[in-house]
Amino acid sequence: MNITFIFFLGLVIALVGVIPPGLLNMTAAKISLKDGHSRGIIFSIGVCVIVAVQTYIASVFASYLSHHPEVIDVLQRVAFVIFVLITVYFLFIAKATTKQQIEPKIRSKHSRFFQGILLSAINVFPIPYQAYMTITLASFGWLNFEQINIISYVAGAVSGTFVMLYMYIFFFDKIKDKTFTSQKSMNRIIGGITGIISVVTLINIIKEL
């Protein structure tokens, strides 16, 4: 198994997971605007430390599940229903809103790294997301759960997360101008991504019938 290929798989999957505006990327961008790029980068490094831990935990969990196919079958069906519902919501139900973003309240400029750790630890979405994606990659034969491959995948996920946070930091002016005015387009992007995941999941379920 080519560890470089696995690294880029982790990078791309993490990029996709961090594309939608959320607490972490928007906070990184706002810190950069208020305190400078270096502070935003320090915050992002703190985020990536937790992402590394979360992705490793997800990979170990996925490795356990790979030896219990009966559990994977149930999780795949549950995940399929969830992703379909998310797709329907973002494509047909979600409306473009202009909710005001809450400014992060920071007491100390020297705590950016730990703030990144704290906010990233609160955001537990990467664990089920990465667990499901690693199981999917393993089902296609693109990933196995040898230690070197897991480490390579985790490194890719950390790099992908940092790259996307970096993009938010340095291109926030353009993103900021379009975030609210093109919310409908963002909903379609998210719906499209979850739709693709739904199709892949359905294909896997059909193959196992």
pLDDT tens digit string along 166-196? Answer: 888 887 756 555 544 455 665 676 677 667 7
Write the single-letter amino acid at 88.
V
Give the helix, strand, coil percentages of the chain, each rounded to 5. Answer: 80, 0, 20
- What is the domain partition of the chain in residue ranges? 3-208
User: In this model, does residue 158 exceed pLDDT 70?
Assistant: yes
Output the 3-class SS for 27-84: HHHHHHHHHCHHHHHHHHHHHHHHHHHHHHHHHHHHHHHHCCHHHHHHHHHHHHHHHH
**pLDDT given at position 46:** 92
Mean pLDDT of the chain: 77
CA distances from 116 to 31, 50, 83, 127, 164 (A): 11, 8, 28, 17, 15
Q: CA 51, 17, 7, 32: dihedral to nearest 10 degrees?
A: -60
Mean pLDDT, residues 60-69: 76
163 and 16 in contact (C-beta within 8 Å)? no
**pLDDT given at position 24:** 83
pLDDT tens digit string along 49-58? Answer: 999 999 999 8
**pLDDT given at position 38:** 85
**pLDDT given at position 186:** 58
pLDDT band at residue 162 using 50, 70 and 90 as cut-offs? very high
More confident: 62 or 70: 62
How much is the CA Rg of the chain, to the nearest whole Å?
18
User: In this model, does residue 103 exceed pLDDT 50?
Assistant: no
**pLDDT given at position 160:** 93
User: In this model, does residue 74 exceed pLDDT 80?
Assistant: no
User: In this model, does residue 114 exceed pLDDT 90?
Assistant: no
**pLDDT given at position 44:** 92
74 and 148 in contact (C-beta within 8 Å)? no
